[in-house]
Structure 1
Amino acid sequence: MLASSLLRTSVSILGLHTAASPLMGATVEQFEEAKSRLSTLKKDPGNEVKLKIYALFKQATQGPCNAPKPGMLDFVNKAKWDAWKSLGSISQDEAREQYCDLIGSLLTAEGQSSAQVAAKPTGGGAAYETLLVTTEDGITTIKLNRPAKKNAITTEMYNEIIAALDQAAKDDCVITVFTGAGDFYCSGNDLTNFTKIPEDGVEAMARSAGDLLRRYVKAYIDFPKPLVAVVNGPAVGVSVTLLGLFDLVYATERV
């Protein structure tokens, strides 16, 4: 029964059908909150991100693009149409969730709290800067939450994932699910991890990185509950390597 329930939830997360998912979907209230907080951004996120925001909003409110294609010389509306059309047939629930994730990540990048946009953190757990961690219906979800950077893993994220797994091992959930915010599962290591050389030199940095990697891998190996990966988009590098440590992996065709 648990397995079939998990399968339904995981398929819904991946957008393979349009049923609402109580595990992952953003509520209408969270979507409305994200809309209202978009205007509080202090920095222009750039045209590419603004087109993504527009497309997700249209998909969330109207569904897949069915508007006629603008003329070639109508550059602005054609760019908007292309962005919306590129979302294909993802459900309105999924688009609403991605919209909230994206606005939340932009707010976090500016140092604003995204708590009102993102799902509420696990009760009694820590607040995370690079993850969204929620528990509902006996399932703890750990979502990599750097969609603007394709969920590239920073040193901070490594440490937060270790902490989130430790917390999930102790909570009341039955299983734990990993997934990514936005259109990527994970793009591997953030290259800035290798550019910040400490004062004590490269050797010390290598030792520290090796220790972190050992603790990171050990957190998966020692995890006492079923661990499920819901690979919602492209996966690169270490994020692929670690899939062998999960008990179950679901992947969308977009991977």
Structure 2
Amino acid sequence: MSEARSSSQLSIARLIFLPALLSLAVTILRLVGERAHWSIHWFSTETGGPVPSGMSWLIGITWLALPFGVYFALKLAAAGHGPRRTAKAVGYAFTGLVILLLVYYSFLPRLTVGFPQILIFIWLAMAIPAAIQLLGWPELFKTLLAYGLASRIPVVIVMFFAMRGDWGTHYDFVGMPEQFQMPLWPRFFWLAFFPQLIFWVAFTILMGSLTGSIAFALFGKRSPAEETVQVS
């Protein structure tokens, strides 16, 4: 059993290696570009969010969850690790997206919780829809979780040093309102550590599951069990 578990872990590590390496390269490029004051259109120091703004989001790793979700899904399917039921995988992905939108636009605006405590509810709003993806396609969930951590941990490290050294980049929230200007450790945990490892990893899982399950439904190879059910 331990050998099988080790083999599974190694296969996930191999699967995410190149995407994680590319994400690291993009993170380094973005940091160097902001520190060197390259084109503001591509290397803006303004802190963004999950919704693209301007062109600098292209030199970032957030949107990579979409194509890598497709990549992981098709690779898993080709190796015989597709979802047991395609409709279930797609359904959970869209259900997660609907839950996120409902909470974000209906529940969160009604909360009277102050900053930074409101961030806890924002993290949960992303984490819960991401967690239910485990029910739809467990192998894709685990792969996206591993990739999400591998791509976001370097960002956490960069943000710590950026905050400690006041680098004047989006990694240390330059130019943000006074409420963001906390002492180093509270600022690091509230604005870097937990957001990156909860919100953004969950974002990667949810968005990757959405594009991955759709790609599998369109192009993936069905498992024999699913094909039998469809024929019967």
Whether TM-score is above 0.5 comes out as: no
Which is richer in strand?
Answer: 1
TM-score for the superposition, normalised by structure 2? 0.26
- Higher normalized contact order (CA 8 Å, seq sep 6+, divided by chain length): 2
TM-score for the superposition, normalised by structure 1? 0.24
Which is richer in helix?
Answer: 2
